[in-house]
Structure 1
């Protein structure tokens, strides 16, 4: 596999534009599934809180298995792009399977069937995500990533706004227990995924077709241990693990609090997500510019501090307009953290072992994603909702403190993201 240094300026710009369009199309289905799957399980399928918790944990567990297998697999493929296209196509078929679940599965088993389908979907989905992360690190040079991800995420979030607001209004037109609107939305997701795969397949990748020049590496338990020998990486991994534990333990709690405690309907769920995405649209590029000026790690800590406040602010009231405001404010910081965490990871890992380190990071954070939601829901019984959410805030702030500690001058690994010319679409 050639690295991005062999790509011409025109090829890099072409890949950027096609990646932006690919991301826009992918956002439709991903947003619909992320926003309305818990409501789909709880309302028309008559699922329980345990089903929602299982949804979060099983998807994380499936991601761990897929990433471990995918890392070993990716080191042996000649074309990461073809691998990514294939795994993405398989993952998106599950939209259609979800659409027919209420018709083909007896009512008593529809909720758990939907949970299992979404979890299984995450296996090829994680392969797709891993291969895309590794591929994009080669296609887009480091000095252009901040600007590129800012533009890509901004356009994706604009589409996510529509994919949240319109379905929310659409679902509201039907009885709360009707599965018909959800079935229609899953078919729409399947249609949009066709455009996603088309633009993904149109990327330009330089593939080494000469076996004598194609070197493979292995990925296994020894690789997982070896990654800890990179000081800058393992320090960041520890900080990210603490932060993500505090972050992900509250994910099912937000759904339960909004739906059960605050009585949110589909239109209010849409409002929460639209408010969050609206601020993300206007802040993605600002976070990118901030990282260029002040450093990626410092801005990552700032964004993490904002994300840390969300659980504590949420449980202060069940007033629905207030919860919209909380999501509006926290959305700006979520935009920064999600983008800058990946950017900083790419900054500090060796380019020659990019796939292995990305896989190692995803496996570690995926394991956190498996156990954290379970612990979060389990703590509801002895602690109840508010103390558990405050604990989530505390753990997030601890992760931020660790980020600031590794960012001290004596610990900082040199990295620089240069300014680049603005992208066009």
Structure 2
């Protein structure tokens, strides 16, 4: 009979494989939702809703995660049921093209269900993986797990883009391309669910401490480190999503990129994040989440502003590379900060509130962006104004909240300049070669790896 350590070791291995297949689903399917909406001739308001409403409704569903967990009495059951049903939602998406004049609204309805089923399991999954990963290795584990998942996401994204380019002769042929990539997404999610079923789920008890009300959570938010992180991410995401739904239509409509060029430009961010996640993960473990959030949080606002200055293809690729570099650090720092600032007993309900509030901010941001795009005529492209506003709001959010966040772990001290220099100089050499070597070594010796 296997001991607990052996079960955990195998579970962390299965979690890497689950994460890889999950990201294959995203690469084949979810990444092309906006492109599919453009193909269906969605309006700018509809594009704004597609970029925000499903995530908002999905995040609101997390208010019921704790209640479902009490009924099912197992994080694994909740996660696996949600993952399986989420995969099945690709079936109606394959045929939404044939749903007549209301097909865009049907598409929005189906992806709302897709996000509900995917997000309702989120707090349970985060709590589950948090109990499996060694506290001192979270950054390294999640960085390496993201690296593998990111590579799979990159490859699946390229394959999907190639398929769409090959099936680009006329609407009916294009639709067949979308049917094929959505089918591949469905298969990927089923395989992800299979490996979720193989993982070990340590005993988890729901206590009174884990049932804090949303009102009480909001009241203590300004004096609590996790509460401040939540307020920061809500404000930031409002600014991010004023622009986020409109990069795809900007590339496909205003810049007239075909699916091949759209895929290449979009894939640059994925591959850079895939390379750098382990590097940033090690930096987070050594120097703390606050330091990495500070560096990336003040460099990330520039991204939407840079889109205004040129539409040269090589320039766009450089922007995407910069975006992947910054977002890799920001995402892994924010993710680890959640674990650092919550206890296992509170983690499910706190992550649920975190996602609910961020979902509302995302919805309001995208809705505001949709109206700005529809009614402004200030620049050559109607999207430029939302890019500029997004830059200003992102920077304001970082300026207000990052100084208030505290580092909760004992970490080494380093200046911001030295930290950035360390990541940049590690990236092209040791960051790639060293991590390929040490992944094999740590994997054999029973230590861990992650997904975002």
TM-score (norm 2): 0.84
The residue aligned with 1:149 is 142
Aligned counterparts of 2:187 and 2:392: Cα–Cα separation in 1: 42
> Residue 300 of structure 2: SS of its match in structure 1?
helix
Aligned counterparts of 2:327 and 2:317: Cα–Cα separation in 1: 15
Aligned counterparts of 1:246 and 1:41: Cα–Cα separation in 2: 22
Correspondence 1:376 to 2:395: no
Report the CA distance shift for 1:403/1:228 in structure 2 as closer, same or farther (over 3 A).
closer
Correspondence 1:65 to 2:60: yes
The residue aligned with 2:236 is 243
For residue 388 of structure 1, the aligned residue among 386, 391, 407 is 386
Aligned counterparts of 1:304 and 1:276: Cα–Cα separation in 2: 17
The C-alpha deviation readout for 1:360-387, integer Å capped at 9, x for no partner, is 1111111111111111122232354323
The answer on whether the counterparts of 2:221 and 2:231 sit within 8 Å (CA) in structure 1 is no
Unaligned runs of 5+ in 1: 1-6
For residue 347 of structure 2, the aligned residue among 349, 354, 360 is 354
Unaligned runs of 5+ in 2: 413-437, 445-452
For residue 254 of structure 2, the aligned residue among 241, 258, 261 is 261
The C-alpha deviation readout for 1:33-58, integer Å capped at 9, x for no partner, is 33211111212x23222221111222
The answer on whether the counterparts of 2:56 and 2:356 sit within 8 Å (CA) in structure 1 is no
Correspondence 1:53 to 2:48: yes
Moved more, 180-189 or 372-381: 372-381
Correspondence 1:274 to 2:270: no
1:158-177 alignment runs, 5 A limit = 158-174=151-167, 175=169, 177=171
Aligned counterparts of 1:214 and 1:71: Cα–Cα separation in 2: 8
Aligned counterparts of 2:24 and 2:403: Cα–Cα separation in 1: 38
TM-score (norm 1): 0.89
CA RMSD of aligned residues (A): 2.3
Correspondence 1:343 to 2:336: yes
Between Structure 1 and Structure 2, how many residues are aligned? 407
The C-alpha deviation readout for 1:264-319, integer Å capped at 9, x for no partner, is 22112211221111111211011111112221111022122332111011121122
Aligned counterparts of 1:233 and 1:219: Cα–Cα separation in 2: 14
For residue 424 of structure 1, the aligned residue among 443, 447, 450 is 443
Aligned counterparts of 1:40 and 1:176: Cα–Cα separation in 2: 14
Q: Offset at 1:110? A: 1.9
> Residue 379 of structure 1: SS of its match in structure 2?
helix
Q: Offset at 1:350? A: 2.7
Moved more, 233-242 or 309-318: 233-242
Aligned counterparts of 1:376 and 1:47: Cα–Cα separation in 2: 15
1:156-305 alignment runs, 5 A limit = 156-174=149-167, 175=169, 177=171, 178-207=174-203, 215=207, 217-218=210-211, 220-225=213-218, 228=221, 231-305=224-298
The answer on whether the counterparts of 1:75 and 1:218 sit within 8 Å (CA) in structure 2 is no
